[in-house]
Amino acid sequence: MIAIIGGTGVYDAKLLHEVRERVINTPFGETRVKTGVYHGKECVFVARHGYAHTVPPHLINYRANIWALASLGVQAVFATAAVGSLNPDMPPGCFVVVDQFIDMTSGRPSTFFEGGETGVVHTDFTDPYCPSLRALLARSLDELNIRYHEGGTYVCTNGPRFETPAEIRAYRILGADLVGMTNVPEVVLAREAGLCYGLVAMVTNYAAGISTEPLTHEEVLNVMNSNQTALQKLLAECIKHFPEEKGCICRVSGVHFQNLWPCERE
């Protein structure tokens, strides 16, 4: 099964048919998903902020979302995210296949492994995003003639406020290209659960201080809306070309997770 996690501006799995809404109960609370089929492949869609964008980044139940996907037998997750840009080579409208992150969040439950029965587990993050999914995203973007950047470092802030120009200057010095509020701990939990995870970021604005105008959520939504068609085509292309049988190194990281929750999983 293939999952799509839709970020800001992506609230529906328009390309799926035979769509069924389901509520999945997890040890971390419930998650609403939509299952369906595209190109003969079973897919599941999750709206990260809820289907009416009611959940702010710091309150998203990331563990429930990823646990639900693992329980449905998902192998690979294609995630979308609206981001601000710190890098003049990545202007608004640009797509980026993200390859590194910097975590500046705080207070978010960010692991499945909390000690005790769940154990102490230190997961490797040398390659935080699945290399195979990154390659598939890049190939599909090429195929569709969509302008994009191969590789970029995403700094995840806690939000929900936008950043100060001083913070953005500091993140530039740290090596960030993009700023968003949601990719951590989502990408971390996916790896802990042994899921392949790829992120396509869409630049909606220059970050605070790089842009001289105040930032607004409307601006972010407007750019996302104008990118809808390209994004849907990209997801369709990725699902179409997703290989049937795939042994990926990302699975190896999920062994402890699989041992912990073997029975409750569907």
Which residues here bind ligand HPA, judged by CB under 6 A?
82-84, 157, 162-163, 179-181, 204-205, 207, 215, 220
The nearer residue to ligand HPA, 34 or 49, going by C-beta atoms, is 49
How near is the Cβ of 101 to ligand HPA at its closest, in Å? 13
What backbone torsions phi and psi does residue 104 show, to the nearest 5 degrees? -115, 20
How near is the Cβ of 157 to ligand HPA at its closest, in Å? 6
DSSP one-letter string for the chain = -EEEEE-TT----TT-EEEEEEEEEEBTEEEEEEEEEETTEEEEEEETTTTTT-S-GGG--HHHHHHHHHHTT--EEEEEEEEEE--TTS-TT-EEE--EEEE---S----S--SGGG-------SS-S-HHHHHHHHHHHHHTT--EEE--EEEEP--SSPPPHHHHHHHHHHT-SEEESSHHHHHHHHHHTT-EEEEEEEEEEEPBTTBSSPP-HHHHHHHHHHHHHHHHHHHHHHHHT--SS---HHHHTTHHHHHHSTTT--
How near is the Cβ of 57 to ligand HPA at its closest, in Å? 8
The nearer residue to ligand HPA, 204 or 253, going by C-beta atoms, is 204
List the one residue out of 39, 9, 1 whose CA is nearest residue 22.
1
The nearer residue to ligand HPA, 69 or 203, going by C-beta atoms, is 203
How near is the Cβ of 11 to ligand HPA at its closest, in Å? 16
How near is the Cβ of 69 to ligand HPA at its closest, in Å? 23
Calpha distance 150→189 (Å, rounded): 23
The nearer residue to ligand HPA, 217 or 241, going by C-beta atoms, is 217
Report which residue's Cβ sits closest to ligand HPA: 84
The nearer residue to ligand HPA, 13 or 86, going by C-beta atoms, is 86
How near is the Cβ of 207 to ligand HPA at its closest, in Å? 5
Which residues are CB-contacts of 89 (< 8 A; sequence separation ≥ 6)?
149
The nearer residue to ligand HPA, 84 or 198, going by C-beta atoms, is 84
The nearer residue to ligand HPA, 43 or 82, going by C-beta atoms, is 82
The nearer residue to ligand HPA, 57 or 254, going by C-beta atoms, is 57
List the one residue out of 59, 51, 34, 140 whose CA is nearest residue 95.
140
How near is the Cβ of 162 to ligand HPA at its closest, in Å? 5
How near is the Cβ of 102 to ligand HPA at its closest, in Å? 13
